[in-house]
Structure 1
Amino acid sequence: MQLTGYVQPLTHQHTDPVTYFWPFPDRELPINELLGEELEINFLGEIACIYCGRKIKKTFNNGSCYPCFRDRAENDLCIVKPHQCHFHLGTCRDAAFGERHCMQPHIVYLAISDDVKVGITRKTNMPKRWIDQGAVTALPIAEVPDRKTAGEIEVHLAQFIKDKTNWRRMLKNEIADRDLLEVRADIEEKIPEKYRGYYQGDREPLTFHYPCLEVPEKIKPLNLDKLDRIRGKLLGAKAQYLILDNGVINIRKFSGYKVEVAV
């Protein structure tokens, strides 16, 4: 099997285990069905912006050319710092995007990818967000009307619970033995009074299992900027990573790179 195209992020379905696909123009690569096979990824030396399609030498923020990185709402600082959302000030880069993306119901959640973390996502983006992060379990704790409010709660709770994932520990399945229901009970009183009406104390956790034959002892990142060809036995997939017997590659990181993939 051989496919050629510009890299797009992995897609997935919440099954047990999660079912992964790598999309290409002609067809999707069924990752789960190919575990144990030799996978070869050849970078063809061409990169295109995932938004405007212009040919570029390097990407910004996982696939953008510099003008799109500078101008598009998807790349604004408030995307990574949602508490700084400025839609209400009338300074959003793209008001239509803001309506679709930010002025929609959002979920504040707890998840375990390596240890407990707090995060936010659009209500319509569950459970995709959790799978993209490699979470083994996730639990909504609040539903709010917009992204800014979710970000404000997240920033406050990040004083008590981290909001980052250690990707190496996540891929090595070094998972903290924590009960999200107990964590939720512990932090309920830490939610500021003005947000208490959004709290949800009756939701149940979701769990996720990932397709993986084995995990390499050493997690070595494979980089298409340094290697024109990556080849190894496909062992699994988790979050946006493909796990090979000689390293791991973050597929989303190389969005827009033109590759030829052979199995």
Structure 2
Amino acid sequence: MELVGHLAPLDHDGTNPVFYNLCVGSETVPLNPLLGKNLSLVFLREIACRHCGRKVKKTYNNGYCYPCFTRLAENDLCIVKPHLCHYEQGTCRDADFARCHCFVPHYVYLAVSSGVKVGITRKENARRRWVDQGAVRAIPIAEVPNRRLAGELELQLSRHLPDKTNWRKMLAGEGADVDLLAVREAIRARLPEAFRPYWLSDEEVREISYPLVDTVGQLKAFSLDKSPAISGRLVGIKGQYLLFAHGVFHVKKHTGYKVRVAWEA
């Protein structure tokens, strides 16, 4: 069986293990039933912006053309560095976007992906965020009313904990035995006074498992720009990665790439 269309980020649900769908144009391919079977992706040498649909030679920030990258609020620097929010200066790229995505409750959390890290996410989007990062365990440690405050607290805590995920260590399952409750208590002692009213003391650790039937032989990252045809036995899915017996493919990074996807029925 096969489909042709532009790739979108992997879609997933709230089950354990996570159930994934590969989005190809307007169609979806349920991936969990394909574990252990052969799957192929062939790049058809066409890329389209995920927002405006314009054909481009390369994308920015996981699927945007350069004009959309420089114009849209979701691509502004304050998205990755929310403590640099400039809404009050009147220079926000899109006030409606800010009201829906920034001026809503946010979690500051601890997660175990490539070891323990600190991060932020909209409260309503927490599990999706953790799954996209390949976290096997996560716990909210503070709830704040907006993204800027979350970013300020994250910045403070990142002096003591990493705020990035190492994809190789994440896929290898390193650091999975971290005791998040113990880390939470250690971090609590370092919490700036101004953020103590937002602290969450009673949250439980969320466990997340991923569909895996075998280990990856080598953590070689496939790129459609360098290898336009990728095929092999699908042995797992974690984060935004398809895990093949001989390498891994980051789907979200290839958003907008037109492909032919074929799989065993």
Aligned pairs (5 A) from 1:212-227? 212-227=212-227
CA-CA distance at 1:114 after TM superposition:
1.8
Residue equivalent to 2:12: 12
Residue equivalent to 2:159: 159
1:190 aligned counterpart, secondary structure: coil
Tell me how far apart the structure 2 counterparts of residues 26 and 198 of structure 1 sit (CA, whole Å).
41
Tell me how far apart the structure 1 counterparts of residues 101 and 186 of structure 2 sit (CA, whole Å).
31
CA RMSD of aligned residues (A): 0.9
1:182 aligns with 2:182: yes
**Residues 35 and 138 of structure 1: is their aligned pair in 2 closer, same or farther, counting only changes over 3 Å?**
same
Tell me how far apart the structure 1 counterparts of residues 175 and 17 of structure 2 sit (CA, whole Å).
17
TM-score normalised by length of structure 2: 0.97
CA-CA distance at 1:99 after TM superposition:
0.7
Residue equivalent to 2:46: 46
1:253 aligns with 2:256: no
Contact persistence 1:41–1:231 (CA under 8 A): yes
Contact persistence 2:73–2:93 (CA under 8 A): yes
CA-CA distance at 1:262 after TM superposition:
0.2
1:36 aligned counterpart, secondary structure: coil
1:127 aligned counterpart, secondary structure: helix
1:93 aligns with 2:93: yes
CA-CA distance at 1:26 after TM superposition:
4.9
Identity %: 54
CA-CA distance at 1:217 after TM superposition:
3.6
Aligned-partner residue type, residue 71 of structure 1: R
1:126 aligned counterpart, secondary structure: helix
Contact persistence 1:49–1:65 (CA under 8 A): yes
In structure 2, the gaps of 5 or more residues are none
Contact persistence 1:32–1:211 (CA under 8 A): yes
Contact persistence 2:217–2:247 (CA under 8 A): no
CA-CA distance at 1:14 after TM superposition:
1.9
Contact persistence 2:116–2:175 (CA under 8 A): no
1:56 aligns with 2:62: no
Tell me how far apart the structure 2 counterparts of residues 116 and 10 of structure 1 sit (CA, whole Å).
24
TM-score normalised by length of structure 1: 0.98
1:27 aligns with 2:6: no
Residue equivalent to 1:104: 104
CA-CA distance at 1:24 after TM superposition:
2.6
1:148 aligns with 2:120: no
Residue equivalent to 1:199: 199
Tell me how far apart the structure 2 counterparts of residues 238 and 20 of structure 1 sit (CA, whole Å).
9
Runs of at least 4 residues of structure 1 off by over 6 A?
Answer: none
Tell me how far apart the structure 2 counterparts of residues 25 and 83 of structure 1 sit (CA, whole Å).
35
1:52 aligned counterpart, secondary structure: coil
Select between 17-26 and 247-256 the one with higher mean Cα deviation. Answer: 17-26
Residue equivalent to 1:211: 211
How many residues matched? 263
Tell me how far apart the structure 2 counterparts of residues 176 and 15 of structure 1 sit (CA, whole Å).
20
Tell me how far apart the structure 1 counterparts of residues 26 and 176 of structure 2 sit (CA, whole Å).
41
Select between 43-52 and 169-178 the one with higher mean Cα deviation. Answer: 169-178
Contact persistence 1:171–1:215 (CA under 8 A): no
1:133 aligns with 2:157: no
Tell me how far apart the structure 2 counterparts of residues 72 and 114 of structure 1 sit (CA, whole Å).
30
1:171 aligns with 2:182: no
CA-CA distance at 1:175 after TM superposition:
2.5
| CA distances 1:56-83 after superposition (whole Å, capped 9, x unpaired) | 0000111111101111111100111011
Residue equivalent to 2:79: 79
Contact persistence 2:8–2:25 (CA under 8 A): no
Residue equivalent to 2:237: 237
Contact persistence 1:133–1:239 (CA under 8 A): yes
In structure 1, the gaps of 5 or more residues are none
CA-CA distance at 1:16 after TM superposition:
1.8
Tell me how far apart the structure 2 counterparts of residues 21 and 242 of structure 1 sit (CA, whole Å).
11
Tell me how far apart the structure 1 counterparts of residues 215 and 50 of structure 2 sit (CA, whole Å).
31
